[in-house]
Amino acid sequence: MSDPSAPVATGMRRWIVGYLFVAPAVLLMGAGLIYPVVQGLLLSMQDWAVGTPMSTAEFIGADNYLRMLRDENVQESMWVTFKFGFFTITIEMTLGVALALLLEKPIRGASIFRTIFIMPLMISPVVVGLVWRYLFDARAGWINHYLELAGFEPLIWLGEPHLAFFAIVFTDIWQWTPFVFIIVIAGLQALPSEVLEASRIDGANTWQQIFLVKLPMIRSILIIALLLRLIDVFKGLEVMLILTEGGPGLATELLSLHVYKTAFDAQQLGYAAAISVLLLLIVFALSLAILLVSNPMKSRADV
């Protein structure tokens, strides 16, 4: 096939063929990813309400962005999102990894435990929201019922800012720890047994094995789990919408829920689009930061 007398032409052809091969994927990405983002950007510079023709939308330039920078509710909601992300991701990662390490060995009934742990992940977020709303119900909920039986004062879980925040963090941990668990356990089981055996022969105890061998070896998997959770936190909406509707006050109004309310309650689609752009930038910046610190693709190349 290759003709050494004409290397330039081959290079050119290879170049074109290469681009031809990636073209369908690029086009799909362009249609599915870039187009909505560009539309969102355009919308964020307009003043448009649902139910009026798009042609009547007014172009207002950066007004929405200027308003956003001064909007206390956006700031508050951002702070809530960061707080929520910090607590949920830290606890989910720790708990998920710990559970995976615990159930990695072939102990009795491990498969049953594994199935049970994965179940919350399979439930639709809307159902999760409803189930926990009833569990946390102040008057008729199970949690208060058992608190009372145990002799504690019942609490207004979804009506007190701190308790409601606790409730959404708790629900999120309940639902998403299994996700970290599955990814990590898959990674652990793929580890070459020779390495672990070698470390054991070298005299490493269980803790040393975990922290010096296993976790460093699945680092790229941990980073991916972290990234996915991070993106999810900024997208999270359904559970909060049903559980608390962002309340009490703004105590559980994550940024994405704030966008939803701005778009569909206040019907300011342009302004909502502007906040979405902010959301996108934050997720982008955080993801980039994580990838700069440790890029799973690069570490794979190093190996």
> Exactly one of 100, 261, 274, 276 binds another protein (CB under 8 A); which one?
261
* Ramachandran area for residue 203 (φ above 0: left; ψ -120 to 50: alpha; else beta): left
Write phi, then psi, for 58 (nearest 5 degrees). Answer: -95, 140
CA 178 to chain centre: 13
Per-residue mark of binding to another protein, 59-98 (x: CB under 8 A): --------------x-------------------------
> Stretches 11-19, 98-106, 137-145, 224-232: which one binds another protein (CB under 8 A)?
137-145
> Exactly one of 38, 116, 266, 288 binds another protein (CB under 8 A); which one?
266
Count Cα atoms within 13 angstroms, Cβ side, for 162: 1
Smallest Cα–Cα separation from 110: which of 181, 173, 179, 177? 181
Judged by CB under 8 A, the number of residues near another protein is 33
> Exactly one of 15, 152, 264, 284 binds another protein (CB under 8 A); which one?
264
Q: Whole-angstrom Cα distance, residue 188 to residue 241?
A: 36
238 binds another protein (CB under 8 A): no
Measured CA angle at 80 (ends 77, 83), to 5 deg: 155
Measured CA angle at 251 (ends 231, 279), to 5 deg: 30
- Amino acid letter, residue 50: V
Write phi, then psi, for 263 (nearest 5 degrees). Answer: -75, -45
> Exactly one of 4, 24, 32, 51 binds another protein (CB under 8 A); which one?
51
Q: Considering the complex, what minimum distance in angstroms separates the CB of residue 160 from another protein?
A: 6
Is 260:242 a contact under the CB 8 Å cutoff?
A: no
Q: What residues does 174 pair with on adjacent strands?
A: none
222 binds another protein (CB under 8 A): no
Is 258:275 a contact under the CB 8 Å cutoff?
A: yes
150 binds another protein (CB under 8 A): no
> Stretches 12-20, 26-34, 110-118, 242-250: which one binds another protein (CB under 8 A)?
242-250
Site for another protein in 159-218 (CB under 8 A): 159-161
> Exactly one of 65, 154, 231, 232 binds another protein (CB under 8 A); which one?
154
Token output for 92: 């989910």
> Exactly one of 41, 110, 125, 137 binds another protein (CB under 8 A); which one?
137
> Exactly one of 53, 61, 106, 151 binds another protein (CB under 8 A); which one?
53
Grouping H, G, I as helix, E, B as strand and the rest as coil, residue 47 is strand
248 binds another protein (CB under 8 A): yes
**Residue (100 or 279) nearer to another protein, CB:** 279
Count Cα atoms within 13 angstroms, Cβ side, for 270: 20
H or E stretch including 58? strand 58-59
> Stretches 45-53, 121-129, 183-191, 228-236: which one binds another protein (CB under 8 A)?
45-53
> Stretches 79-87, 98-106, 108-116, 239-247: which one binds another protein (CB under 8 A)?
239-247
> Exactly one of 1, 8, 25, 140 binds another protein (CB under 8 A); which one?
140
250 binds another protein (CB under 8 A): yes
Q: Name the residues that contact another protein, by CB under 8 A.
A: 49-53, 73, 136-140, 144, 154, 156-161, 244-250, 261-262, 264-268
